[in-house]
Amino acid sequence: MDRKIRCIIVDDEPLARKVLVKHTEQIDQLEVVAVCANAVDAFCHLQKGNIDLVFLDIKMPKINGLELLESLNPVPLVVFTTAYREFAIKAFELDAIDYLLKPISMGRFMKTIAKANKYLSGQSISTTEQPPKAVSETSSSTEPEPLYIKAQRKIIKLDLSHITYLESLNDKVIIHTLDNEITTSQRIGHLSEKLPKERFIRIHRSFMIAVDKVSAFNSIMVEINGKELPIGRNYRSHVLDILQNTSD
């Protein structure tokens, strides 16, 4: 990135905040916008927008770091900073770009900033990392971007043309494809933001479909691969407009 990375530090431990501030001061590319001792103060700063990166502790009083992250929309890049290893999988599911265990060395911190810079610059990253969220809408490529899914403790690359529909079930989402099913802990709302709106539509709080995979429909359901999926009342008008225009 040509401009500085705007970040905030969120940690209830004074010493931990001091260490992170010291690390950030050694990297000219970072601009610390705020240093917060709790999640409530951090939320107020994040609501103002224009924050690129959050260094976020997990165990904090009243509202912990995981709860704060789940409350954010849109979500900036997040790096968890904690003394506890057991939250790593949950942090991964919430799209954190890194997980730093205290005490945090300067060398490890620099690797995290390099990774954040790749995300924010839209550069390619290794398959063990989450792909960059930002993709230029003005790209000249006609090939659709694939969807990357966190499942079975790894990242799975899915061709959008293979997806038939998404089904939210309890705390999981089942992604139905032409060949199989993939279960992920990522929320359907989060996944819907990654899918192109001209190809996928939400038809129900529990279902999102690929428009081109619909074989039949009426005012209360759509049919995909012989499976009838309900159209929710609140989605009906928009869904029927899209499907009727597609079928004309």
> Which fold is adopted by the domain 147-247?
OB fold (Dihydrolipoamide Acetyltransferase, E2P) (2.40.50)
Stronger pLDDT, 154 or 134, i.e. the higher one? 154
Closest by CA to 35, choosing from 63, 56, 49, is: 56
Decide if pLDDT at 1 tops 60. no
Closest by CA to 73, choosing from 219, 187, 236, 195, is: 187
**What is the rounded distance in angstroms from the CA atom of residue 148 to the CA atom of residue 194?**
9
Using pLDDT thresholds of 50, 70 and 90, give the confidence band for residue 2: low
3-state secondary structure 90-118: HHHHCCCCEEEECCCCHHHHHHHHHHHHH
Give the pLDDT of residue 48: 85
Kindly report, residue by residue over 28-82, the tens digit of the pLDDT. Answer: 999 999 999 999 999 999 988 889 999 999 999 889 999 998 888 878 899 999 9
Using pLDDT thresholds of 50, 70 and 90, give the confidence band for residue 142: very low
Decide if pLDDT at 25 tops 90. yes
What's the alpha-carbon Rg for the chain, to the nearest Å? 20
> Which fold is adopted by the domain 5-121?
Rossmann fold (3.40.50)
**β-strands 53-56, 77-82: how paired?**
parallel
CA dihedral of 60, 61, 64, 65, whole degrees rounded to 10: -40
Give the pLDDT of residue 170: 85
Per-residue CA distances from 185 to 61, 91, 172, 178, 190 (Å): 26, 12, 5, 21, 11
Using pLDDT thresholds of 50, 70 and 90, give the confidence band for residue 124: very low
Q: Which pTM was predicted?
A: 0.52
Task: Please name the helix (run of DSSP H) or strand (run of DSSP E) that holds residue 119, with its range, or none.
Answer: helix 106-121
Query: What are the tokens at 134?
Result: 């930002």
Domain extents in the chain: 5-121, 147-247
**What is the rounded distance in angstroms from the CA atom of residue 57 to the CA atom of residue 80?**
6
Give the pLDDT of residue 5: 94
Average confidence score pLDDT of the chain: 85
